[in-house]
Amino acid sequence: MTEKISIIIPAYNASATIDRCLTSLLNQNIRETYQIIVLNDGSTDNTLTKLEKYKNDKRVTIINKLNTGASDTRNQGLKLVKSEYVTFVDADDYVETDYLESLLKQYVKNNCDLSIVGYYKEDDNKEIRFQGAGEKKNLTQEEALHDIFISTGFEGYLWNKLFKLSIIKENKISFDDKLKIAEDLLFCCKYLSHCSCISLNPEVKYHYVVNSDSQINSNKYGSDFKKESLDVLKVYSLIKFIVAPMNYSKVVSAINASILWSSTSILRNIYLAPNKKEIPKKLIDNLRSNQKKYRHDFLENDILPSRDKIIYWLNYYFPSLFAFLWRKVNLKGNGF
């Protein structure tokens, strides 16, 4: 029998969290059948040993593979999926018992092409630090492509969404394994380019646990600047190329505002980086150019909180000083 839903989980050195993740998924109250595909991505800890105890559960498929990164691992997982729907869960995270039911119910009720649920971002101690905002409604393609850039909304994550496998397969949508950051956002926007109705239910069903070893936290202020942080700008350029034929001017403006904000954040990282002197001046000039080029889109757009406009001006005119103060008072965003 073919399962209704498949859940793809890339697991790399997840021995401390994989039990919690799988337990929450195996305790789903949904009536339809579902499959959990865990791909051990070359873990060097005892993740594989932890997974062994699930090998007799027919709902769980365990794949042991060489380390190739999250994007390639998810692509390999997609090749194994034969269900009607698919979602992606991170091995560090866990879900509510009605996570799958809430995602699937939106398809049944709204005849949509994508369903989305709400989430918490929390630390290792389960302290809630942020909750995704939004209201229960159906979105058009244009609205979803615009709202995915709202930093307090449903955003471009994989784990709070349920995808139709037919849309993925028919349009040959996959993850770009050359990207280390924002590859999930690019995947979501590729998918949205083939959707007409998107259903959002912001009730919290997913718990995203932010940990110090994640890729995003490896680029925290005060650490060495890594060129991988520029991937987000590549992603925005690729999304603009996808959106261009649609003539969604508001979406393009939202992307431009995001380019400015990411350029500002990257510059702040550079000013605080121990290897600052190794950064090519041309790169800094290009990032500064983005700050000026997309200023109108940023200041006139409502996709980011009001405080960010003040932060932008301080960054623009007093970059080094503001970077120092930012680190001194330990300011944080919704990704903490």
pLDDT tens digits for range 201-233:
999 999 999 975 554 444 566 789 999 999 999
Phi, psi at residue 71, to the nearest 5°?
Answer: -65, -50
The whole-chain average pLDDT of the chain stands at: 92
Task: Indicate whether 280 pLDDT > 50.
Answer: yes
Task: Indicate whether 184 pLDDT > 70.
Answer: yes
Distance CA 25, CA 98 (A): 10
Q: What is the pLDDT of residue 311?
A: 84
Q: Which of 258, 188, 265 is CA-nearest to residue 221?
A: 265
Name residue, tokens 């790169």: 283
**Range name among 73-77, 91-95, 313-317, 330-334 with the lowest pLDDT average:** 330-334
pTM, two decimals, is 0.93
287 burial via Cβ count (<10 Å: 0-12, 13-18, 19+): buried
Which residues, listed in sequence order, are joined to residue 162 by a DSSP beta bridge? 115
Q: Which residues are tagged catalytic?
A: 184
**Mean pLDDT calculated for residue range 262-271:** 92
Q: Which of 207, 224, 254, 243 is CA-nearest to residue 97?
A: 207
Q: What is the pLDDT of residue 215?
A: 47
Q: Is the dihedral of CA 179, 283, 270, 237 positive or negative?
A: negative
Alpha carbon separation from 183 to 9, 87, 121 (Å, rounded): 15, 15, 19
Structure tokens belonging to residue 171: 């349009």
Q: Is the dihedral of CA 222, 226, 227, 229 positive or negative?
A: negative
Largest CA distance in the chain: 62
Q: What is the pLDDT of residue 325?
A: 74
- What does the CA dihedral 107, 73, 217, 318 come to, rounded to 10 degrees? -80
Half-sphere exposure of 125 (CA within 13 A, CB side): 2
The terminus-to-terminus CA distance of the chain in angstroms comes to 43
Find the helix or strand (DSSP H, E) in which 303 lies: none
pLDDT in tens, 51-98: 999 999 999 999 999 999 999 999 999 999 999 999 999 999 999 999
Running DSSP on this structure, what letter comes out for residue 227? G
What is the secondary structure of 64-131 as a DSSP string?
EE----HHHHHHHHHHH--SSEEEE--TT-EE-TTHHHHHHHHHHHH--SEEEEEEEEE-TT--EEEE
Structure tokens belonging to residue 175: 């993850």
